[in-house]
Amino acid sequence: MLDDLRNMLGAGAVDDSPEGLASHTHDWYPGALLRDRMGTPVPGPSVVVRPRDTGEVAAVLEWAQVTSTPVVPFGGGSSVVRGIEPDGAVVIDLERLNSISEVDEKSGLVTAGAGVTGPALRDHLAESGYLLGHEPQSVDISTVGGWVATRACGQLSAKYGGIEDLVRGLEAVLPGGRIVRTKTAPRRSTGPDLAGLLIGSEGALGVVTEVTLRVFPLPTERADLCLRFEHMTEGVQGCRVLARSDLGPTMVRLYDAEDAALFLRHHPDEPMGPLLLCSFDGDDSDLRRERAAELIDGTSGNDDLVAHWWEHRNDAVEEFRKVMAGEGLLGPHGIVDTIEVAGTWTVLRDLYHSVKEGLSEAAGLVGCHVSHVYPDGACLYFTMGSMCKSDAEAEEVDRKWWEITMRRTLDAGGTISHHHGVGRVRAGWIEEELGEWFEVLRLIKKAIDPK
Ligand SMILES: Cc1cc2nc3c(=O)[nH]c(=O)nc-3n(C[C@H](O)[C@H](O)[C@H](O)COP(=O)(O)OP(=O)(O)OC[C@H]3O[C@@H](n4cnc5c(N)ncnc54)[C@H](O)[C@@H]3O)c2cc1C
């Protein structure tokens, strides 16, 4: 195998060093991080390859099909749902597919290789006065290809949408090595959205190699609004009113009392309780902020907390890493996990209460925030933490959290993932989630990837 790959790609692109394999063994799924902590890591890849271009990706996939070798694409490795657990497979690390085009200012588009990282794209766009608007908390540790493959959604989705709203064209290599490209177009009516098959396919239907994305001028001004509520239900109502208005917020987040306590832990003088943070940018942002404050039935809060959120919006990456390394507040056997689900406004209240109640019986601490809003519904993002007596207990606790959240979400009429994807951790519930479409997906997989 190694000789085949070296002949194909050159020795420098084929890595079977212990460090190379260890750094591609798993993603950020807490269960996998726990296994590292326990000294029994999940089984890693047999080899890591780093192709230089789409042609080399195609060569690897052709070889993989001929030799029946499983392959796993790897972006930043920041998935949190067991998206990466190669277990003897060949990992295709896309880091060398890192070119970025000039911004097409006339159409507001940029084309980036799958391996382009969040910071590289942000800096490149900022030089010409643009931004992508896709800002997941993990932006510093994830890639363009990974965002597309997981159907990711950034924290500014109220204005910019999810990654699926930003993709205007893509290139991918299908199993067996066939290269497919979609024309870049603002919209089309040329049959089903075939590129859409790759968006959210999590590496199962091909390797995304290049993506053309919409970009936006960097906003010049921002107006922040913080409101407080006595009960979460009133805050949810406020989010609904805002999402259904024409005020165009950039960011909307509503924390329940427990999540607000976490957010406010560095602000001991702030009153506790449900907290809504939102921002408006661009033209008339002050005016739109004022109108939102009038429209939503809440009490004025401290707008500086919104600025604090902007400054610290990606701190969760380091905090999560610390807890899972046994160095955080939850002690040596601490466990933290996050599970995001979604529902229409009609079911959201029951969904929130049902999942929260179930998780509260199984976790030391459960907080929830509404992290993404739409005219027709929202995402509920649950964060659970427990101090356990052993890592084995932590594993069991995490398994229970998933079971409770998936079961109760399905029963309440919600959808089991808003943006983290399926991976292996949600695999047991996806058939029930998709219903009849599960069989269609299975047939598509079989047709595209017969082996
Ligand atoms: C602390 C933290 C915060 C996070 N916050 C957010 C958030 O705000 N929003 C959000 O949406 N997600 C978030 N995530 C999850 C994760 O960052 C996203 O799923 C991200 O899109 C994954 O990108 P990646 O490049 O790291 O992909 P990887 O983790 O490398 O891969 C993810 C999956 O996609 C496949 N894949 C990767 N690249 C390709 C490719 N080029 N072609 C085909 N398949 C590919 C992999 O095989 C795997 O199945 C967070 C994760 C962490 C750890």
- CATH 3.30.465.10 residue ranges of the chain are 109-217
Give 296's pLDDT tier (boundaries 50, 70, 90). Answer: very high
pLDDT digits (tens, 9 = 90+) for 153-179: 999 999 999 999 999 999 999 999 999
- The encoded tokens of residue 165 equal 């709203």
Q: Give CATH 3.30.43.10 domain extents, the chain.
A: 2-93
**What pLDDT, on a 0 to 100 scale, did the predictor assign at position 341?**
98
Confidence of residue 103 (pLDDT cuts 50, 70, 90): very high
Nearest CA to ligand 1 atom 1: 317
pLDDT of amino acid 59: 98
The protein residue whose alpha carbon is closest to atom 9 in ligand 1 is 136
Q: Which CATH class is domain 222-312?
A: alpha beta
d(CA 35, CA 337): 15
CA–centroid distance, residue 139 to ligand 1 (Å): 9
Nearest to 370 by CA among 254, 283, 258, 449: 254
Tell me the mean pLDDT in the region 62-74.
Answer: 97
**CATH class of the 109-217 domain in this structure:** alpha beta
Question: For domain 2-93, which architecture applies?
Answer: 2-Layer Sandwich (3.30)
* Average pLDDT over every residue of 212-222: 96
pLDDT of 325 strictly over 90: no
Domain with CATH 3.30.300.330 in the chain: 316-420
Residue with tokens 């996990």: 337
What mean pLDDT is reported for the chain? 96
Q: Label residue 1 by pLDDT band (50, 70, 90).
A: confident
Reported as a pLDDT band with limits 50, 70 and 90, residue 268 is confident
- Using one digit for the tens of pLDDT, what is the confidence trace for 399-433? 999 999 999 999 999 999 999 999 999 999 999 99
Does residue 328 surpass a pLDDT of 80? no
Torsion of CA 387, 389, 394, 395, to 10 degrees: 180
Q: What is the pLDDT of residue 125?
A: 98
User: How many other C-beta atoms are found inside a 10 Å radius of the C-beta of residue 272?
Assistant: 11
278 vs 245: CA distance, rounded Å: 14
Pocket lined around ligand 1, Cβ cut-off 6 Å: 27-28, 72-80, 83-84, 94, 114, 136-138, 142-143, 145-147, 149-150, 152-153, 155, 202-203, 207-208, 316-317, 320, 419-421
Class level of CATH domain 316-420: alpha beta
Give the pLDDT band (50/70/90) at residue 329: confident
Every domain range in the chain assigned CATH 3.30.70.3450: 222-312
280 vs 327, higher pLDDT: 280
pLDDT tens-digit profile of 118-165?
Answer: 999 999 999 999 999 999 999 999 999 999 999 999 999 999 999 999
Protein residue whose Cα sits closest to atom 15 of ligand 1? 79
* CA 185 to mean position of chain CA atoms: 25
User: 276: which residues sit within 8 A by CB, 6+ positions away?
Assistant: 225, 226, 227, 228, 229, 235, 238, 239, 252, 253, 254, 255, 296, 298, 301
